[in-house]
Amino acid sequence: MQIGKLIQQIFWFLLSLLPLLIWLNLWLSQSQTHSLDSIDKLNKPTTQAFINEPLQPLPEQITLNADKVRLGQQLFYDPRLSKTNKMACVSCHPLTSTDKPRKSSELNNINIPSLYNVSFNVFLNWDGRTEQLSDDLDNTLHAPDKLASDWQTLIAKLQQLTDYTALFQQLYPTVGITEQSIKDALITFERSLYTPNARFDKFLRGDATALTEQEKAGYQLFKQVGCVGCHQGVNIGGNLLQKMGLTADYFAEREDAIADNGRFNLTGQEADRHVFRVPSLRNVAKTAPYLHDGSVDNLAETVAIMARYQLGRPLTNEQIESIVHFLHTLTGEYQGKPL
């Protein structure tokens, strides 16, 4: 009897330990996954390093059909896309230093945006008129001050050119030369215009040595004073519409210019007067002149304008210089070569 009771007591004692044992087991297995986690973090500093930043790196590689990119490029450089056969996309949107750009003064003083990284913009054009590259192509083809043509004319023209008929037949065998296939080729080329590997992107991916201390301080300031409230995300802009002159009237001392109305020209809403798409700051050191009318040539001066009219807090020359140092780290590579 005594022994039976003892066994019973031992049994109950062990049973009472069960929750503790289960907890101990869980805790051990958890701390095991914890330690696995931290090894993971050490092995992959990249994702951890930029995950909480308001700016994000461009993808290092985008997979695109190389033949379509080439066809799109041929179209981009071909003046026969315009009614007059004199104006190609590249006539206004230079991609290399040998391409001769038109002056914005020939285009109602509208600054011609760089097309690098254009596929990462949420809004297109200074007034954010379109969001799709396809709609933008419709506008560009029809605009009297751009290609001044239409799809019917363009398709008929390309169908006469044996170099194009063969290429389209090969790449779009079921449709040949249509509005859709022309757009597809041009947009595939536009998507190929991305510029990865800016020093800043390497920094975001976890390479702390990619920026100098001076440049890092410039980035801190860019965040601290509030630039990042508007210039943000993967394109460091391109995803917001904002009034130019939030904290002071930028247009007060200027003569009336239609382009200055910004989004108002599109919507007719008073609230949209002087509202513009916040431009991307990628490659900004290489894309002077600045602002919607190209009225400023100098990057430091542009930053000073931003501080005064968008933030309402003048920056010292030292602070401006520091931010400009940071902006210079945003220059990426096109096809493996620095812009």
Tell whether residue 110 is a contact of ligand HEC (CB under 6 A). yes
Q: Are 117 and 237 in contact (CB under 8 A)?
A: no
Q: How far apart are CA 93 and CA 255, in angstroms?
A: 28
246 near ligand HEC, rule: CB under 6 A: yes
Please state, in angstroms and rounded to a whole number, the distance separating the CA atoms of residues 277 and 111: 13
- Which residues face 290 on adjacent strands? 296
Between 45 and 54, name the residue whose CB sits nearer to ligand HEC: 54
Nearest to 173 by CA among 165, 185, 161: 165
The footprint of ligand HEC on this chain (CB under 6 A) covers a number of residues equal to 51
Q: Which amino acid is at 156?
A: A
In the complex with ligand HEC, the residue whose CB is nearer, 216 or 231, is: 231
Q: Draw the binding track, 273-292, toward ligand HEC (x: CB under 6 A; -: no contact).
A: ---x-xx-x--x--x--xxx
Residue 326: closest CA among 334, 315, 336, 335: 315
User: Is residue 124 within the footprint of ligand HEC (CB under 6 A)?
Assistant: yes
| Residue 306, marked binder | yes
Strands (DSSP E) found in the chain: 241-243, 275-277, 333-334, 337-338
- In angstroms, the CA 339 to CA 334 distance is 6
Sequence-separated (6 or more) residues with CB below 8 Å from residue 230: 237, 240, 242, 278, 310
The correct pick among 227, 234, 236, 339 for binding ligand HEC (CB under 6 A) is: 227
| Nearer of residues 46 and 300 to ligand HEC, judged by Cβ | 300
Interface residue with ligand HEC among 197, 302, 322, 329 (CB under 6 A) is 302
Based on the shown chain and the rule CB under 6 A, indicate whether residue 199 belongs to the binding site for ligand HEC: no
Task: Summarize as ranges the residues that interact with ligand HEC (CB under 6 A).
Answer: 81, 87, 89, 91-93, 102, 107, 110, 112-113, 115, 118, 121, 124-127, 133, 136-137, 140, 145-147, 186, 225-227, 229-231, 242, 244, 246, 276, 278-279, 281, 284, 287, 290-292, 302-303, 306-307, 310-311, 323
Q: Which residues are annotated as a binding site for heme c?
A: 89, 92-93, 227, 230-231, 306
Q: Which residues are annotated as a binding site?
A: 89, 92-93, 227, 230-231, 306
